Amino acid sequence: MGCVCSGALSADTLERTSKHPCYSADAHHKYARIHLPVAPRCNIQCNYCNRKFDCVNESRPGVTSEVLTPELAKDKFVWVKEKIEHLSVVGIAGPGDALADWQFTRQTIENIKAINQDITFCLSTNGLLLPEYAPEVVALGVRHVTVTVNALDPVISAKIYKFVSYQGKTYTGVAAAEVLLANQLAGIKYLVEHGVLVKINIVMIKDLNDSHIPAVVKKMKELGVFVTNIMPLIPAPGSAFQHLPQTSTKEVNALRDVCQLDIRQMRHCQQCRADAIGLLHEDRSQEFRMCNRLQDDEAVNKNGTGKSYRIAVTSKYGKLVDQHFGHATQFYIYQGDGQEFRLRETRAVAQYCEGMAECDTDNADTKREKIIESLKDCNAVLTMRIGYHAKEKLQKNGVYITEYCDTVETGLRYTASQIEGLEQASGYK
């Protein structure tokens, strides 16, 4: 099978592709996209990936400043659609894998389709679960899917992936690579045969898979993919490949020139964050974080007082206040009027305390400072326990601390009542 030609595509798919900034080189200067981070889990571990590291100024796949529920994702889409002209694409690119959290991905698409039939949906995946979910992807009307395929040779792949978790079993080495590749090829074939435009991402890693990439591209051409996107390795802090050299633009472009003879090459990729918003060259994700939204919905202000509390909660599973502040890898951010609260976002952080030895180090201090900085927009922190230094620094930033052990719902109301009591005692109105 050769490359998919325009004659084989429906008029609707062609029109949507012409407005898709990743699939059309002409569209990325005019049309905007929004990535909704609703899928935090991943079923493989790439040696170049570390989703826990988040810098607001960093742009690379897997990075996000918030994880949203499908309901909040719909709210965010409505908000951004009102503010950004020519928003044409909703993408789901993790921060884990779009298919590993398929129930959230599917619900997000269904929620947005119910209010907007004109938007184009796009998914990014490692392809491991494509044989299972590709029929649902097609049935949902998703016509653009990106699959990351870094190698065909299992020996090479075994050096790129630490493990693959599939159907309750964890695979490593060549066995992991073989399972992943078989599912990728089967899934890509199904999507192409059912009218989906498939883009293939390939991470170029010097002296590992770079000389093998032309063979990958030729195989993708046989499967009928629409375009391949050769991307430079970005050594992520904390990843197994953090010390490898970043592939240069010159090297990537030279390889693209070779592969262009087989299939069209994407040359304008920005290796976007999982929460990217706006034009490809002008990411506005930090502007549109849900915590920046000033207006509260009716559920938040039902009692008519006009009061609003934003409270960060440490919880293992979102039900009980049962986690130490220093052990948290994420904070549940709630907002409400003191009686009723709504989960606004899940904010990922780097855990800074993994035992007494690790809590008292320069690295731990740096992580703690980043967490405190990320919580400055909150009125309070609700946690089971918190260390003296973290508590002191948060309080200096005007963040009230509640140490509590009960349900999250009860803890939120208790915290709000404590804040209100302090305000009344100080004469604040």
pLDDT of amino acid 348: 86
Identify the weakest region by mean pLDDT among 204-213, 329-338, 359-368, 389-398: 359-368
Final residue of a domain: which of 226, 255, 287?
Answer: 287
Closest CA to 91 of 70, 75, 105, 72: 105
Mean pLDDT for the chain overall:
85
413 domain-assigned: yes
Taking only the tens place, the pLDDT of each residue in 191-250 is: 999 999 999 999 999 999 999 999 999 999 999 999 999 998 888 777 888 889 888 889
C-alpha 146/C-alpha 126 separation (Å) is: 8
How many structural domains comprise the chain? 2
pLDDT band, residue 6 (cuts 50/70/90): very low
Q: What's the pLDDT at 349?
A: 87
Long-range contacts of 81-84 (CB under 8 A, 24+ apart): 81/116, 83/288, 84/32, 84/34, 84/277, 84/278, 84/284
Q: Are residues 205 and 229 in the same domain?
A: yes
pLDDT at 276: 87
Please tell me whether residues 119 and 219 are part of one structural domain.
yes
Cα torsion angle, 234, 238, 241, 242, sign: positive
Q: Which pLDDT value is given to residue 59?
A: 52
229 or 85, higher pLDDT: 229
* Same domain as 387, residue 360: yes
Confidence of residue 114 (pLDDT cuts 50, 70, 90): very high
pLDDT digits (tens, 9 = 90+) for 272-329: 788 889 887 777 887 887 766 644 444 444 445 568 899 999 998 888 999 999 999 9
Residues 58 and 81 in one domain: yes
Asked if residue 264 and residue 248 are part of one domain, the reply reads yes
Question: What is the domain range of residue 322?
Answer: 294-425
Residue 335 pLDDT:
92
Q: Which of 268, 287, 306 is the last residue of a domain?
A: 287
- Rounded Cα distance between 134 and 151, Å, is 21
CATH number of the domain within which 226 lies = 3.20.20.70
Q: What percent of the chain has pLDDT over 70?
A: 86
pLDDT at 330 over 80: yes
Q: How confident is the model at residue 62, as a pLDDT?
A: 66
Q: What is the CATH number of the domain that holds 411?
A: 3.30.420.130
Q: How many other C-beta atoms are found inside a 10 Å radius of the C-beta of residue 395?
A: 12
Tell me the range of 58-67, 353-362, 367-376 where mean pLDDT is highest. 367-376
CA pair distance 76, 93, nearest whole angstrom: 16
Strand partners, 331: 347
With cut-offs at 50, 70 and 90, classify the pLDDT of residue 331: very high
**In a domain? residue 349:** yes
Give per-residue pLDDT as tens, 128-168.
Answer: 999 999 999 999 999 999 999 999 999 999 999 999 999 99
How far is residue 332's CA from residue 240's CA, in Å, rounded to a whole number? 29
Band of pLDDT at residue 5, cut at 50, 70 and 90: very low
Backbone angles phi, psi at 119, to 5 degrees: -75, 150
Residue 1 lies in a domain: no
Least confident of 7-11, 57-61, 82-86: 57-61
| Same domain for 283 and 298 | no
The per-residue pLDDT for 56 is 45
Residue 321 lies in a domain: yes
pLDDT of 357 reads 42
Q: Are residues 158 and 40 in the same domain?
A: yes
Instruction: Kindly state whether residue 41 falls inside one of the protein's structural domains.
Output: yes
Over 80: is that where the pLDDT of 121 sits? yes
Which among 264, 287, 310 is the end of a domain? 287
Beta bridge partners of 33: 89, 278
User: Is 211 in the same domain as 338?
Assistant: no
- The per-residue b/e assignment along 105-128, b for 16 or more CB within 10 angstroms, e otherwise, is bbbbbebbeeeeeebbbbbbbbbb
Q: Higher pLDDT residue, 306 or 49?
A: 49
283 and 302 in one domain? no
Whether residue 388 is contained in a domain is answered as yes
pTM over 0.85: no
Residue 27 has pLDDT above 70, yes or no: no
Q: How confident is the model at residue 355 (pLDDT cuts 50, 70, 90)?
A: low
Residue at 217 is within a domain: yes
pLDDT of residue 359: 52
Task: Report pLDDT for 115.
Answer: 94
Same domain, 332 and 237: no
Residues 259 and 406 in one domain: no
- pLDDT average, residue stretch 403-427: 84
Mean pLDDT, range 421-425, rounded to an integer: 75
Shared domain check, 119 and 230 = yes
Q: Which residue has the higher pLDDT, 366 or 80?
A: 80
